[in-house]
Amino acid sequence: MESLLQYLMISVALFAIGVYGLVSKRNAIRLLFSVEILANAGVLNLVVFSRFLPATNVIGQVFALFGIALLAAEAAVGLALILVAYRIREDIDVLEMRELKE
């Protein structure tokens, strides 16, 4: 029998993986992945809560759909920015991007 706690642990794990990826990776695409994973933790939460809350609470699922759509838009913009970055530098290592600093 599945329980709320199990799902929440998964979502927390996803969130943590996202943060870890953001902190440790230097490839812009990987950063994008990490952001997506992190945000999907929230989406998963919404669905899970919708399932476990007292009956007929579908707002969460609706919200999840909205969330997925927004994430897709965000990812598209992010990917475009990374493409431009690649075109300018032929490299997407965020470590190399430090022109803007003091």
Partner 1 sequence: MADLVQVLPWLVWVIPLIGALLTPVFAHINGKIRDIMAAVFALGGAVSATLLLPTALSGETIHSEIPWIPSLNINAGVLADPLSIFIATVVAWICFLIMVYSIGYMHGDPNLTRYWFFMNFFIGNMLLIVLSDNFLQMFFGWEGVGLCSYGLIGFWNKDELKDYVGTRGHTVLGLPQAYSPSQAGMKAFMMTRVGDISFLIGLLILYYYSGTFSFTELAEKTGWSKELVSAGLFIPAAILIFGGAVGKSAQFPLHEWLPDAMAGPTAVSALIHAATMVKAGVFLVARVGPIFYNAAEVTSQVTPLFITIAWIGVFTAFLAATQAVVAKEIKKLLAYSTVSQIGYMMLALGVAGLSTDFALGYTAGLFHLTSHAIFKAALFMGAGALIHATGSKYLHDMGGLRKHMKYTYISMLIVAGSLAGVPFLSGFWSKDAILAATLGASETSSMSIIYALAVVTAVMTAFYTFKMIGLVFFGKPSEHLEEREREGHHVHEAPKIMLIPYTILAGATLAIGIVGFFFEEGLHEMLSRNLEHEFANIHIVEASGGINPTALVSSLAAVGIGGFIAYYYYIARKADPTKITQNNSFARGLYQFFYNRWYMNAIYYWVFVKSVEGFSRITFKNLELGVIDKISTSVATSTITFSTIGRWVDINVVDGVSNGIASAGKVLSGVSRRIQTGVTEEYVFAYVMGAVLLILLFLYILLTGVSV
Partner 2 sequence: MDTPLILIPLLGGVAVFMPLLEVIFKGEMRGKFSSHLAVAALLVALAVVIYQPLTSPLELTASSSGLFRNDLMGLFFSLVVLLVALLVATSSLDYMKGRPNEPIYYSLLLFTALGMSLLAFSVDLIMILVAWELMSIPTYVLTGFWKHDAKSNEAALKYFILGALSSGTILYGISLIYGLTGSTNIFQILRASTGIPDSFQSLAILAMLLLVAGLGFKMSLVPFHMWIPDAYEGAPTTISALLSAGTKKAAFVVAIRIFVIALPVLHLDWQLTFAILALITMTLGNIAALTQKTITRLLAYSSIAQAGYILIGLTVALQTELGLIGVLFHVFTHAVMQTTAFLAAALIAKKTGHTDLDSYNGIGARMPVTAFTMTVALLALAGVPPLNGFWSKLVLFTSAIGGDLTWLAVAGVLNSAFSLGYYAWIVKRMYLDEGTSTTHIYEPKPFTIVLMAATIVIVATGIYPAPIYEFARLAVSSLIGAA
Query: Could you list the residues that contact partner 2 (CB under 8 A)?
Result: 11, 15, 18, 22, 28, 31-32, 35, 38-39, 41-43, 45-46, 48-49, 53-54, 57, 59-60, 62-63, 66-67, 70, 73-74, 77-78, 80-82, 84-85, 88-89, 94, 97-101
Q: Which of 12, 24, 57, 70 binds partner 1 (CB under 8 A)?
A: 24
Residue 29: name the closest of 97, 88, 94 by CA.
94
Closest to partner 2 by CB, 1 or 100: 100
Please choose which of partner 2, partner 1, none residue 24 contacts, taking the beta carbon within 5 to 8 angstroms, the exact cut-off set by kind: partner 1
The amino acid at 81: L
Q: Which residues on neighbouring strands pair with residue 27, listed in sequence order?
A: 93
Q: How far apart are CA 79 and CA 8, in angstroms?
A: 29
Cα three-residue angle 79-13-51, rounded to 5 degrees: 95
Question: Which residues in 9-87 belong to E strands, given as ranges?
Answer: none
Binding site for partner 1 (CB under 8 A): 19-20, 22-26, 31, 93-98, 101-102
